[in-house]
Amino acid sequence: MVNKSKKAAGVLLSLLGGIFWGFSGSCGQYLFAYHGTDSKWIVTIRMIATGIILLALSAVKHRSKIFGVWKGKKNLFCMSAFTLFGLILCQYSYFTAIEHSNAGTATVLQYLSPVMILVFVCIKNKRLPVFSEIIAIFLAVGGTFVIATGGDIGYLAVSTPALFWGIAAAVFLACYSLIPTPLLKAYDTPTVLGWGMLAGGIILFPVFKPWKIMPEISFSLIAALGGIVVFGTVIAYTFYLEGIRLIGATKASVISSIEPVSATVISAVWLGTEFSGTDIIGFIMIISTIFIISFWSNKSKA
């Protein structure tokens, strides 16, 4: 009975984590549409605020190790690479893709990252992909083609900047997944993520100059920004990690892949974003690769 309740809690937390991630993308779309912000402003504010919150939470439990991630050349190099490629460029490319399209499309394109990681692993291990992996790659490429062209090779249904930044977000999300692995073995995730977020926000502050884009302060602005920082980052990530603890990384990652579905539905219902039939087909093709890759991973470990 206890195991069943733990599994149910793990499933629920992983599900909520993915839904909140999708919700944060729609909050970004809302800020672009109704408050005149841009991706530079959102990313800078989000990273600084999230970094402060996560480090404050981490300091309560891991105060003695909180500065360890910056000690030693290996740690310093890894944290610097994670901050630049895994956080700054990942965050900026994702929200810029939303700015040029919508939360649903940008989030689905970002979910090309598992296939990119798969290709990287094949190259690193000097092996050819197996049949299921080939299917996943084919669906990922095909899904991107369908979203980009609407099924018509002579027509571009998504703007070139949206497609570019969406694919870039997938590349840097893959970096986000791969780069911090050595650090996460030695330090808790909130510490690594918190320092990366805060350092990235401090770097971007004089570069993006968010004070020059300051929108009019209102309840809706603060609520949407809170949705990105609190629900879409701190709570979503905490729920996801707890889901991993209760049901394992593979199951949690598959369940949390409801994120693009969440972003699409919330964007359509809340913001009135319209998606065509070909968009939905492309979305399904890309999202299905996550399940194929996860299934293959389980079979290979059996």
pLDDT in tens, 123-146: 988 998 888 889 999 999 999 999
Would you tell me the crossing angle of helices 277-301 and 259-271 to the nearest 10 degrees? 160
pLDDT at res. 200: 97
Closest C-alpha to 177, from 115, 219, 228, 264: 115
List, in order, residues 6 or more apart from 278 with CB less than 8 Å away.
146, 147, 150, 151, 157
List, in order, residues 6 or more apart from 121 with CB less than 8 Å away.
none
Residue 1 pLDDT > 60, yes or no?
no
Residue with the bigger pLDDT between 253 and 74: it is 74
- How far apart, in whole angstroms, are the C-alpha atoms of residue 81 and residue 17? 26
- How far apart, in whole angstroms, are the C-alpha atoms of residue 243 and residue 259? 15
pLDDT at res. 247: 83
C-beta separation of 29 from 267 below 8 A: yes
pTM of the predicted structure, to 2 decimals: 0.89
pLDDT at res. 224: 96
Q: Residue 301: which pLDDT band, with cuts at 50, 70 and 90?
A: very low
Q: Residue 89: which pLDDT band, with cuts at 50, 70 and 90?
A: very high
Cα torsion 106, 107, 109, 112 to 10°: value is 160
DSSP per position, the chain: -HHHHHHHHHHHHHHHHHHHHHHHHHHHHHHHHHH---HHHHHHHHHHHHHHHHHHHHHHHHGGGTTGGGSSHHHHHHHHHIIIIIIIHHHHHHHHHHHHS-HHHHHHHHTTHHHHHHHHHHHHTT----HHHHHHHHHHHHHHHHHHHTT-TT--SS-HHHHHHHHHHHHHHHHHHHTTHHHHHHS-HHHHHHHHHHHHHHHHHHHH-GGGGPPPP-HHHHHHHHIIIIIIIIIHHHHHHHHHHHH-HHHHHHHGGGHHHHHHHHHHHHH-----HHHHHHHHHHHHHHHHHHHHHHHHH-
C-beta separation of 144 from 110 below 8 A: no
Residue 250 pLDDT > 70, yes or no?
no
Which pLDDT tens digit goes with each residue over 275-296? 999 999 999 999 998 888 776 6
What is the domain partition of the chain in residue ranges? 12-301
